[in-house]
């Protein structure tokens, strides 16, 4: 497996060259740039938009269509209560430090990582070993410039300790990060002092909904909550059948402490998320697991990570689930499907791995989690999270609202149960609690059997009970005896009720798009001895534009032919661009190689005579010549993925005609 960033052709990746090409060709650009820009906000230009739309198109076909998922498009503005219940208000935070001298705000884990890495780099230099540059975050550069790490040799034991800390950097809480800063005396090179102890910084953008500002809310940090809140309606839409999945594509917002690495850590980004609802009983089997069981994945599990090993052999997902490396079939099924999706859009197979979250690294709701990470020049980057969120979200929302976010299933055999049951005196309960009635009722009904047993005892002995109800008064509510009965009763159940578990593949489209650009980038030596030119070898399905149409010269006879060709392609739904600028054909082709346009048609004098045109392949620069119908058919099959260029070359006559540069004279 590759460990450093290389281009598609194995050349060392020149990131500044790629970045400048992507900006020059307007794949993306800093937002509000003429006002000085805002960190972590980007606009996409025409090729970036097409590329993103094409990735989303493949995603919809690969997941929503293929798996009959139920797509929803939910509100971005989310009331405080929803995100309080989901745990985001209290727990969706990163650790932040402040430099007491210069006021700089620093993300604690990134700071520890950065300083330890720079010490290790200094150690390598002192030992005369080769050092790889990793990141060029401007803030980091500034810090480095002011306090360049000297080449200092460290003890072997210290090196090992630093490496262990770095391997677990995502797992530390604020207190632990503070201890690391103290223990290793980590100073901000820009000021020469240690930053303040880390404090939690919530990543959500807060706002007020409505003119009276009395409904606090947030811009959603993920699309998932909207899907959970619609669960009952979706279940009904699906005729009460489980398993089923919902899906949503939309923007999410996170107020990242230090946005960096271009599109990789931004404050507004497109997510595509799936919530697959599954019965927790029966081992979370998946009916289509057999279709993917032989797919081999690189899996970096917890034990491997703790051992410090980074290289692992591929293993089939069937074996990984059978051996308990991956918890269940449904999680395994989605990991394999994620892998196939990434492969389909052109992600380099040797630069994908799945890394399991360590127990304390997982989000507050997750039961198990594997990230699909892609290797980029910034290192391994999480691009898709695949989490088993258990029944967490549906349970907490049901508890808070009283909505039945459950599945009801007819039992084959009736079940006799003896249980503590709660009965409310509705006539008195509502008027007693007024507006809080529903909330209190939901909290009472959500009590466990053990709690009910204790409450029944209290009710008998004290004549009232005290129940914890979040959001009402001081959080404790007293219910007198005449409003409630709690008794042990026997009943026969004909229907089984359960809260489904959720497996959630969550895709960050911007990160995938950036990794895809790195993985498909390479440079071609120019024949004329000019600078090497960049090429983006996207698969035709996702390439922003599929066909470039170039007239040989500005001769008027070519114009209607080019126009007709673009019309024909448009009718077939194939995007094309005519480049009739005065640049040489070679230059025009190179410009479009930079945009990743896979095919190019040249219209020349022979076209005027016999209606034949040439078709050029971006990657090999080889050309074939045939009549218009044959070329259009070839384009169609390459674009829809049914054929590859080598098939076209085998079927149509190779064009060895005049040199492109000569032909333009």
Ligand X SMILES: Nc1ncnc2c1ncn2[C@@H]1O[C@H](COP(=O)(O)OP(=O)(O)OP(=O)(O)O)[C@@H](O)[C@H]1O
Q: What angle do CA 652, 653, 656 make, to 5 degrees?
A: 140
Looking at beta carbons only, is 225 or 607 nearer to ligand X? 225
Separation of alpha carbons 541 and 559, rounded Å: 28
Looking at beta carbons only, is 165 or 455 nearer to ligand X? 165
Choices 174-182, 376-384, 392-400, 479-487 (CB under 6 A): range interacting with ligand X: 376-384
- Shortest distance (Å) from residue 362 CB to ligand X: 9
Torsion angle defined by CA atoms of residues 105, 162, 308 and 3, in that order, rounded to the nearest 10 degrees: 70
Looking at beta carbons only, is 266 or 561 nearer to ligand X? 266
Choices 143-151, 378-386, 520-528, 609-617 (CB under 6 A): range interacting with ligand X: 378-386
Q: In a 10 Å sphere around its CB, with 0-12 CB exposed, 13-18 middle and 19+ buried, how is residue 492 labelled?
A: exposed
Closest CA to 299 of 369, 247, 234, 240: 369
Residue in the shown chain whose Cβ atom is closest to ligand X: 508
Torsion angle defined by CA atoms of residues 120, 126, 132 and 136, in that order, rounded to the nearest 10 degrees: 70
Looking at beta carbons only, is 220 or 588 nearer to ligand X? 220
Looking at beta carbons only, is 82 or 266 nearer to ligand X? 266
Q: Is 383 in the site for ligand X (CB under 6 A)?
A: yes
Looking at beta carbons only, is 15 or 355 nearer to ligand X? 355
Separation of alpha carbons 500 and 494, rounded Å: 19
Separation of alpha carbons 406 and 496, rounded Å: 10
* Largest distance between two CA atoms of the chain: 103
Q: Is 511 in the site for ligand X (CB under 6 A)?
A: yes
Of 248, 506, 576, 607, the residue at the interface with ligand X (CB under 6 A) is 506
- Shortest distance (Å) from residue 389 CB to ligand X: 11
Looking at beta carbons only, is 119 or 511 nearer to ligand X? 511
Residues 459 and 444 sit within 8 Å (Cβ to Cβ): no
Q: What is the DSSP letter of 6?
A: B
- Shortest distance (Å) from residue 372 CB to ligand X: 8
- Shortest distance (Å) from residue 140 CB to ligand X: 17
Separation of alpha carbons 202 and 204, rounded Å: 6
Of 14, 179, 256, 644, the residue at the interface with ligand X (CB under 6 A) is 256
- Shortest distance (Å) from residue 522 CB to ligand X: 25
Which single residue is written with the structure tokens 């190019």? 600
- Residue 165: its H or E element: helix 156-167
Q: In a 10 Å sphere around its CB, with 0-12 CB exposed, 13-18 middle and 19+ buried, how is residue 586 labelled?
A: buried
Q: Please list every residue from 443 through 482 that binds ligand X, using CB under 6 A.
A: none
Q: Is 113 in the site for ligand X (CB under 6 A)?
A: no
SS3 207: strand
- Shortest distance (Å) from residue 520 CB to ligand X: 18
Two structure tokens written together for 588 = 């025009």
Q: Is 499 in the site for ligand X (CB under 6 A)?
A: no
Looking at beta carbons only, is 167 or 209 nearer to ligand X? 167
- Residue 247: its H or E element: strand 244-253
Count of beta carbons in the 10 Å neighbourhood of residue 124: 17
Looking at beta carbons only, is 256 or 409 nearer to ligand X? 256
Of 385, 534, 586, 598, the residue at the interface with ligand X (CB under 6 A) is 385
Which single residue is written with the structure tokens 């946005």? 259
Distance from the first to the final alpha carbon of the chain: 47
Q: What angle do CA 551, 555, 559 make, to 5 degrees?
A: 55
Q: Is 630 in the site for ligand X (CB under 6 A)?
A: no
- Residue 272: its H or E element: strand 268-278
Alpha carbon separation from 473 to 31, 339, 439 (Å, rounded) = 45, 49, 12
- Shortest distance (Å) from residue 418 CB to ligand X: 43
- Cβ contacts of residue 35 below 8 Å, gap of 6+? none
Residues in contact with ligand X, counted by CB under 6 A, come to a total of 14
Choices 14-22, 382-390, 574-582, 593-601 (CB under 6 A): range interacting with ligand X: 382-390
Q: Is 578 in the site for ligand X (CB under 6 A)?
A: no
Looking at beta carbons only, is 265 or 293 nearer to ligand X? 265
- Shortest distance (Å) from residue 96 CB to ligand X: 14
Looking at beta carbons only, is 269 or 334 nearer to ligand X? 269
- Shortest distance (Å) from residue 269 CB to ligand X: 4
Looking at beta carbons only, is 441 or 518 nearer to ligand X? 518
Give how far the C-alpha of residue 555 lies from the chain's centroid of Cα atoms, to the nearest Å.
Answer: 49
Within 6-79, residue ranges assigned H as helices are 15-24, 46-59
- Shortest distance (Å) from residue 250 CB to ligand X: 12
Q: Is 384 in the site for ligand X (CB under 6 A)?
A: yes
- Shortest distance (Å) from residue 384 CB to ligand X: 5
- Kind of pairing, strands 244-253 and 70-71? parallel
Looking at beta carbons only, is 269 or 392 nearer to ligand X? 269
- Cβ contacts of residue 176 below 8 Å, gap of 6+? none
- Kind of pairing, strands 268-278 and 244-253? antiparallel
Closest CA to 394 of 629, 224, 259, 556: 224
- Shortest distance (Å) from residue 49 CB to ligand X: 17
SS3 101: coil
Q: Is 508 in the site for ligand X (CB under 6 A)?
A: yes
Q: Please list every residue from 264 through 293 that binds ligand X, using CB under 6 A.
A: 265-266, 269, 271
Choices 60-68, 122-130, 380-388, 398-406 (CB under 6 A): range interacting with ligand X: 380-388
Site string for ligand X, 1-30 (x = CB under 6 A): ------------------------------
Looking at beta carbons only, is 512 or 578 nearer to ligand X? 512
Which single residue is written with the structure tokens 């497109």? 270
Separation of alpha carbons 488 and 417, rounded Å: 10
Looking at beta carbons only, is 301 or 612 nearer to ligand X? 301
- Shortest distance (Å) from residue 565 CB to ligand X: 39
Supply φ then ψ for residue 310, to 5 degrees: -115, -15
Of 382, 421, 458, 644, the residue at the interface with ligand X (CB under 6 A) is 382
Q: In a 10 Å sphere around its CB, with 0-12 CB exposed, 13-18 middle and 19+ buried, how is residue 198 labelled?
A: buried
Of 25, 140, 254, 260, the residue at the interface with ligand X (CB under 6 A) is 254
Choices 24-32, 324-332, 502-510, 555-563 (CB under 6 A): range interacting with ligand X: 502-510
Choices 171-179, 236-244, 379-387, 488-496 (CB under 6 A): range interacting with ligand X: 379-387
Looking at beta carbons only, is 56 or 424 nearer to ligand X? 56
Residues that bind ligand X (CB under 6 A): 254, 256, 265-266, 269, 271, 382-385, 506, 508, 510-511
């Amino acid at each position: 497996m590759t460990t450093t960033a290389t281009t598609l052709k194995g050349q060392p990746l020149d990131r500044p060259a790629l970045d400048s090409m992507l900006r020059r060709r307007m794949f993306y650009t800093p937002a509000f740039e003429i006002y000085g820009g805002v960190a972590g906000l980007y606009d996409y230009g025409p090729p970036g938009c097409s590329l993103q739309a094409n990735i989303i198109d493949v995603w919809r076909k690969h997941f929503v269509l293929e798996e009959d998922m139920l797509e929803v498009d939910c509100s971005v503005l989310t009331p405080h209560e929803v995100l309080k219940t989901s745990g985001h208000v209290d727990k969706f935070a990163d650790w932040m430090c402040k430099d007491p001298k210069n006021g700089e705000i620093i993300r604690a884990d990134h700071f520890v990582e950065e300083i330890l890495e720079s010490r290790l780099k200094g150690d390598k230099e002192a030992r005369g070993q080769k050092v790889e540059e990793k990141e060029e975050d401007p803030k980091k550069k500034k810090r480095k410039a002011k306090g360049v790490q000297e080449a200092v040799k460290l003890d072997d034991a210290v090196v090992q300790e630093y490496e262990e800390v770095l391997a677990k950097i995502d797992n530390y809480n604020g207190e632990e990060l503070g201890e690391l800063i103290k223990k290793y005396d980590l100073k901000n090179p820009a000021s020469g002092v240690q930053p303040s102890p880390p404090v939690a910084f919530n990543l959500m953008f807060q706002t007020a909904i409505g003119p009276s500002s009395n409904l606090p809310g947030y811009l959603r940090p993920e699309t998932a909550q909207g899907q959970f809140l619609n669960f009952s309606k979706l279940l009904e839409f699906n005729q009460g059948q489980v398993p089923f999945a919902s899906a949503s594509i939309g923007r999410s917002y996170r107020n990242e402490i230090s946005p960096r690495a271009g599109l990789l850590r931004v404050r507004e980004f497109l997510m595509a998320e799936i919530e697959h609802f599954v019965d927790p009983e029966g081992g979370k089997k998946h009916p289509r697991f057999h279709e993917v069981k032989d797919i081999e994945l690189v899996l970096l599990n917890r034990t491997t990570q703790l051992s410090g090993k980074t290289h692992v052999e591929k293993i089939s997902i069937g074996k990984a689930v059978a051996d308990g490396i991956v918890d269940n079939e449904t999680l395994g099924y989605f990991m394999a499907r994620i892998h196939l999706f990434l492969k389909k859009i052109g992600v380099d197979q040797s630069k994908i791995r799945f890394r399991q979250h360590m127990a304390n690294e997982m989000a507050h709701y997750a039961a198990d989690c594997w990230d699909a990470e892609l290797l980029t020049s910034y290192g391994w980057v999480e691009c898709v999270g695949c989490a088993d969120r258990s029944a967490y979200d549906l349970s907490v929302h049901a508890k808070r609202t009283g909505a039945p976010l459950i599945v009801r299933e007819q039992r084959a055999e009736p079940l006799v149960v003896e249980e503590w049951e709660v009965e409310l005196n509705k006539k008195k309960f509502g008027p007693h609690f007024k507006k809080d009635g529903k909330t209190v009722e939901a909290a009472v009904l959500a009590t466990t059997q053990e709690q009910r047993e204790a409450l029944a005892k209290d009710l008998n002995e004290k004549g009232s009970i005290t129940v914890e109800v979040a959001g009402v008064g001081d959080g404790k509510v007293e219910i007198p005896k005449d409003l409630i009965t709690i008794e042990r009763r026997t009943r026969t159940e004909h229907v089984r009720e359960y809260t489904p578990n959720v497996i959630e593949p969550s895709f960050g489209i911007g990160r995938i798009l950036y990794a895809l650009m790195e993985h498909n980038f390479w440079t071609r030596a120019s024949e004329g001895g000019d600078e090497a030119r960049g090429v983006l070898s996207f698969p035709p399905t996702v390439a922003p534009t599929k066909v470039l149409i170039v007239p040989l010269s500005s001769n008027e006879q070519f114009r209607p032919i080019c126009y007709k060709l673009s019309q024909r392609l448009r009718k077939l739904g194939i995007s094309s661009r005519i480049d009739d600028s005065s640049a040489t054909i070679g230059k025009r082709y190179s410009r479009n190689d930079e945009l990743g346009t896979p095919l190019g048609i040249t219209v020349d004098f022979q076209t005027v005579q016999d209606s034949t045109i040439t078709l050029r392949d971006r990657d090999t620069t080889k050309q074939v010549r045939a009549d218009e119908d044959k070329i259009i058919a070839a384009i169609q099959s390459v674009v829809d993925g049914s054929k590859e260029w080598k098939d076209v070359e085998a079927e149509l006559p190779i064009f060895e005609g005049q040199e492109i540069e000569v032909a333009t004279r």
